[in-house]
Structure 1
């Protein structure tokens, strides 16, 4: 749940990097909430149109549109790709599958052009650690 909230806090942040766990946990919670809201829409009768879309689930989808785009762009940055790669989803059929493959790849180890490694602390590459960044004003060890 913390990963979902963290992405919502950075709702319009399109720079930096998002690790796999952050992206996929957001996707998981997003799908769960969407299913629950669709059920609620059907139970209370707020569905409309031929696609049987619900008012509440549509409002939710609009509310998480920017966070979804932001975390997708940050995920591509973690794999050292441009954020424009999320547009590959617009290719019918294969684009969505291709994006899933890209999003499932391991992120770049260490810093890349989009920022520091979000997993550096887990790898023991914190400030002053061998292979990690130097603390500002201090030489590396």
Structure 2
């Protein structure tokens, strides 16, 4: 949890470094939160609460996207890779999997 909060606070640090442990903890916690919000979106049948959950989910993803991008850039800096490699995530499925594979390598 402490890694998650630290990374959210470093949303504008694109020049530092990020350890593999920090990256993995953030990734697991972030995906867990998104999974819970996604599950609540399917579990709630009331129309109003369904819209509220979908809105909260969207705002959460948009609000944390800059922190996620900064973390990927810091991790690529740690590995000695060019941060422009982050553009590979724009390729639909393969690009994101390739980027995750690179970022999960040991330091």
Normalised by the length of structure 2, the TM-score is 0.86
> Deviation digits for residues 5-52 of structure 1, max 9, x if unmatched?
1101101111111011111111111111112222334422217xxxxx
CA distance in structure 2 between the partners assigned to 1:2 and 1:32 by the alignment: 15
What 5-or-longer segments of structure 1 have no aligned partner?
A: 48-52, 108-141
Tell me, what secondary structure is at the counterpart of 2:92?
A: coil
Alignment of 1:32-111 (within 5 A): 32-42=32-42, 43=44, 44-46=49-51, 54-107=54-107
RMSD (Å) for aligned C-alpha atoms: 1.7
- The structure with the largest alpha-carbon Rg is 1
Tell me, what secondary structure is at the counterpart of 2:27?
A: helix
Which of the pair has the greater relative contact order for Cα pairs under 8 Å at 6+ separation? 2
Count of aligned residue pairs for this structure pair = 102
Shift of 1:92: 3.0
What 5-or-longer segments of structure 2 have no aligned partner?
A: none
CA distance in structure 2 between the partners assigned to 1:8 and 1:62 by the alignment: 13
CA distance in structure 1 between the partners assigned to 2:2 and 2:95 by the alignment: 29
Most deviating of 8-17 and 64-73: 8-17
CA distance in structure 2 between the partners assigned to 1:92 and 1:38 by the alignment: 20
Most deviating of 37-46 and 75-84: 37-46
Most deviating of 31-40 and 97-106: 31-40
